[in-house]
Chains A and B, each alone.
Chain A
């Protein structure tokens, strides 16, 4: 009887294994998509600003995972390095600098929540209808099997780099594209470089430590005379 039991469980297991088919691509997409959406909603719902920052980090990390699954490896790595590893670190620094006790948890009044929920529902309805409404967008053009590992990965960075230098080398076999879409990205690349330099200088200037108009010692000594001078001058 024991052997019979073992044989039946073994055969059940074998049939389950042979019949079931977990599409790992779909499963990981589901994991990352749920993580991104859940963390984004958590950012909205939580009051504590430090926790908001942390949930945002998780959400954007899951988004980077989605980018990797969609085959955009360079953009995914860029997202991790620049967005999560740079912009969000900046944001967390800002949070830490201003995380005094009264500002860590600021609650919004109830009526604002009602208005916001109505807005959210309307916007979400419109966007979801647009997403699932177009039939051409629903089917996956390339059927992705259980594993997407190739022997040597396609160079996903080289076409991007060449495009940024102004030369498009990606192979578009559909033949439907118009010439304007196939333009290089050299000019935007240069503009963004200058833009980042300007932003660097501007942000550093905006956030500089400002000197006081009068040093403290002089102020305490001659406070009344100073006030008179200021009144006369203005």
Chain B
């Protein structure tokens, strides 16, 4: 019951958290389900962005005011660091994927079973 009232209220932290939740879930499903290695990478990006939305929501000067839910500037700074680290990790992951493609002539993660059993 509580859930549908949220659509009538002015935009607050909860709305941002909902968007973050959807992105996070989509990212997790993407990581689980995709056969293309680059698809898995895209899932990771979605997960990190969902988390970023949460951080920004809690650290937003527009949404917080003087309430106790604000973590102030820390939210934006943490989101900044997440963006930087996501870029770094995407670069390395892409390098690994390209190596895999060069060695196995495929990007299908189901074929990556050399170390299996």
Contacts and interface: CB of A to CB of B under 8 A. Distances in A.
Interface stretch (A80-88, A212-220, A221-229): A80-88
B34 to A, nearest CB: 7
Nearest to A49: B36
Contacts of B39: 49, 52
A159 interface: yes
Given A123-B28, A143-B10, A203-B92, A91 B45 contact: yes
- For the residues of B in contact with A, the DSSP-based class is helix
- For the residues of A in contact with B, the DSSP-based class is helix
Contacts of B92: 199, 202-203, 206
Interface of B: 2-3, 6, 9-30, 32-36, 38-39, 41-43, 45-46, 49, 52-53, 56-57, 59-77, 79-81, 83-92, 94-99, 101-102, 106-108
Contacts of B13: 137-138
A87 B86 contact: yes
B97 A94 contact: yes
26 contacts: A23-B10, A36-B19, A41-B22, A43-B26, A44-B33, A60-B49, A63-B23, A78-B80, A79-B52, A87-B45, A90-B90, A98-B38, A98-B107, A107-B35, A117-B29, A119-B32, A120-B25, A124-B21, A130-B21, A137-B69, A141-B65, A141-B70, A174-B66, A185-B77, A196-B87, A206-B95
A136 B28 contact: no
Contact of B25 (A123, A132, A164, A207): A123
Contacts of A112: 32-33
A195 B106 contact: no
Interface residues of A, number: 95
Interface in A65-91: 66-67, 69-72, 74-75, 78-79, 82-83, 86-88, 90-91
A141 B63 contact: yes
B64 to A, nearest CB: 5
